Amino acid sequence: MFKRILAGIDGSRAGWTAKNYAFTLAKAFDLPVVGIHVIDVRLLEESFLEDLAGVLGFTYYLGISQKVREFLEKQADVLVEEFLSEGRKKGLKVSSFQTVGVPHEVLVEQADPEDLLIIGRRGKRPIRGLFLSSTADVVSRRSKAPILLVPEEERSLKKLCVAYDGGEMSKKALELGRIISNNFDATLYALYVGETPPQVEEGIELKVLPGLPEERLVSHCREEDVDMLLMGAYSKGRLKEFFLGSTTTFVLHHLEIPILLVK
């Protein structure tokens, strides 16, 4: 299934939910789990801290970045130790990776195509809107590994829906959904939005709905109380996505349930 599970831990509520999903899946499939914590190097730049001091009204002095780094490192040690301690108590094979860098770059670099990367949809930021690009958005586009994006609220894995169009990525998503559903005794079905439904493998229910794929996917998952949506990531191509938008992007920004993107 996967070689490892990597979980992004940052102390946020969504980050701890990512940890919970990582532990649950690792236990079910006997996989090692790596907790990754990244101190954002952009927070340590003197020019940034000087500007921030002016906005927040604290006293800036040359060399303050070292004090900020020491504080963030102590915070990271506490978060990682809590992650490792809980994993060991659950009998899991856990390890950690800590570094300083740009979070989305580190997460993408650390994840191999055979891994599963799990991160929270809303990470922890010192100030809301501090950095324009969401780590989850960037990682979901650049990661070579499948990525599970989770909201703050955790859900039991009882109803899984696969966005299905007959393409290779949707077939991979369906196979992955079958493996997960079998292990958790969950309901699994495929959903196609359009006029000419594709063939689906025997034993899988295919629901067909009219309308725009992105809008119907979101409304259906809400109405049917789906616990996880599995789908191919950004399958339209970069040029078409640039001009017309992406079903993946729309779903990520409008649906607050775990979404597993298959690459």
Residue spans of the chain under pLDDT 50: 126-133, 238-244
pLDDT of residue 214: 92
* pLDDT at 215 (0 to 100): 94
Residues paired with residue 228 on neighbouring β-strands, in sequence order: 160
Locate tokens 């309308």: which residue? 211
Report residue 70 as tokens: 């020491």
Of 257, 30, 225, the closest CA to residue 150 belongs to: 257
Q: pLDDT value at position 171?
A: 95
Give the whole-angstrom CA distance, residue 105 versus residue 209: 38
Tell me the pLDDT tens digit for each residue of 71-103.
Answer: 889 999 999 999 999 999 999 999 999 999 999
> Distance (Å, rounded) from C-alpha 170 to C-alpha 2?
18
